[in-house]
Amino acid sequence: MVAGPTLSVIVVPLLGQDALANCLDRLPLASVECIVVLRRTMGSVSAWQARYPSVTFLAAAGQPVPLRRQCGLRAARGDVVGLIEDTSWPDDGWCAAALAAFVDRQTAAAGGPVRIASALPNRYRALGTSEYGAFAANDPARPTGDCARDRSVAALRVPGNNMAFRRLDLLDAMRGETGGLFEGPVCARLLAAGRRVVYHPGMAVTYAASDRHNAALATRMHHGRIYASAQVHGRAWPWRLAHLAKTPFLPLVLTTRAIRFSGRSLGARAKLPVLFWLALMESAWSLGEAVGALAGSGRSLEEWR
């Protein structure tokens, strides 16, 4: 009997402490390889190792998220590698769904639904909506119901907090990359190479932990700067100026898009406060895009932690 593909789960903590423990406690650690890449402020490797002896803990000092993803990838041995963050807690069956998403040999990347926990304070619900609204679990464009839980649908990208890749395809797509794993460019390369990117309804996570650092408006600006810098990298000045010219319109465009994707997940009482925070965050992001279009990313990547 031929053995099925194996799974390695890489957890990139944003918070550590209880959030990381809650995330790990939801994984079947006895049956999958699990790798956690810690920052220096998240406790010692030995302390975490004593608590979770079957998990591999790696220390990545002050490295930003993309480099910690890459660090975990280098240590992984599974045929499929899943990457999640400790602010997002996987459903029962997440690991099985992550493997099921790759039944088709042409599939190289998969993502799944991201719920925004209703118990989160409005500021953090806004952050989750901004980051992951396009992958909302109740998006009417996505398959719903029990009959659809095992059916993948084609996608163009995957959520950064809930994704999986065929490991060898990912390594090939990242060949020569020294700046870390960025899901957007990787998915674009895989699609250009004729591989499939899919959305699997069974790969669901719940964005459930308050991430104070990444909800800060200064951090949102840094993220916008990183994004714009990547968009204009290697481009001539007319392209950069064209990107700059659209930034005054971005707050409205981005806020409207986030609401459209996940408006049904916001209760009536929460909509106005979440909208307020969404508008502020998207305005900060847009300011970052303006800076990034002209001056590049600077040291903004260091704030992605």
SS3 assignment, position 35:
strand
Number of CB atoms found within 10 A of residue 176's CB: 4
Number of CB atoms found within 10 A of residue 16's CB: 16
Q: Give the type of residue at 17.
A: Q
The C-alpha atoms of residue 120 and residue 249 are separated, in whole angstroms, by 29
pLDDT in tens, 138-188: 543 444 444 355 689 999 999 999 999 999 999 999 998 888 999 999 999
pLDDT in tens, 118-132: 899 999 999 999 999
pLDDT > 90 fraction of the chain, expressed in percent and rounded: 80
pLDDT, residue 62, reads 86
Considering the chain, tell me which residue range(s) the CATH 3.90.550.10 domain(s) occupy: 7-207
pLDDT, residue 266, reads 63
- C-beta of residue 29 within 8 angstroms of C-beta of residue 41: no
pLDDT, residue 262, reads 65
- C-beta of residue 106 within 8 angstroms of C-beta of residue 187: no
Res. 272: pLDDT tops 90: no
Q: What is the mean pLDDT of the chain?
A: 91
pLDDT, residue 270, reads 61
**Residue 222 φ/ψ, nearest 5 degrees:** -60, -40
Q: Which is more confidently placed, 151 or 1?
A: 151
The C-alpha atoms of residue 71 and residue 67 are separated, in whole angstroms, by 6
Pairing of β 162-166 and β 107-111: antiparallel
pLDDT in tens, 213-256: 999 999 999 999 999 999 999 899 999 999 999 999 999 999 88
CATH architecture of 7-207: Alpha-Beta Complex (3.90)
The C-alpha atoms of residue 217 and residue 117 are separated, in whole angstroms, by 21
pLDDT, residue 267, reads 55
Q: Give the type of residue at 105.
A: R
Q: Compute the CA torsion angle 290, 287, 267, 132 (nearest 10 deg).
A: 50
